[in-house]
Amino acid sequence: MVTARMGLGALVVAALACWVVLLGGCGGESAETQAESKTLPPYPSALSAQSSPSQVAEVLIQALDEGDDQVLLGLVAVKHDIEAIDSIYSRHGREHETAPADAAALTASGWKTSYAWYQSGATYVTEETIDGDTAVVWARGLNPTTGRARELTISMVREDGVWKVAAGLQAREL
């Protein structure tokens, strides 16, 4: 069950990488100049190394409900996501160095897009599984249009001693 869900996450990361490729050749500042001017916000102060994946998911959901981009960016598993993006480039014979701020922005944007299919304030954590330095948290919410229940799957990895959220929130109608 988790393996099939992880495949969809890889698809989202691939889509994000393709988006980066398409935008990479556009005019304006170079990617290096843009990356140097961007810094990532810190891990949310409400969380610590002792926080469980469910607690991290609750902070993520609250930030999505409130549109708090700074908290979202602080939750991104940047190292994990950069590795996934760079792996996609490598498979296609291209070299690319993804800036941490760019990876975080792409991931947070994807989360907001996925979460748009949830009624704000109605999503809650239902379950978590931890396997070493990876975890999956499931949450349940409501479709704002139909009122039907929806499941949200949140994949996490441990980075720098804390739980961080990987790209590709997975949503499905129940």
Average pLDDT by consecutive 10-residue portion of the chain (174 residues)?
Answer: 41 43 38 52 97 98 97 96 85 82 93 95 98 98 95 97 96 91
| Core vs surface per residue 28-54: b (16+ CB within 10 A) or e | eeebeeebeeeebbebbeebeeebebb
Query: What is the per-residue pLDDT for 97?
Result: 79
Rounded distance between C-alpha atoms, residue 151 and residue 117, angstroms: 10
Q: Which domain holds residue 129?
A: 2-20+53-173
DSSP code for 59: H
The answer to whether residue 156 sits within a structural domain is yes
The answer to whether residue 110 sits within a structural domain is yes
CATH of the domain at 157: 3.10.450.50
pLDDT tens per residue, range 2-49: 333 434 444 444 444 444 433 343 333 433 333 434 789 999 999 999
The answer to whether residue 38 sits within a structural domain is no
The answer to whether residue 62 sits within a structural domain is yes
Number of domains present in the structure of the chain: 1
The answer to whether residue 104 sits within a structural domain is yes
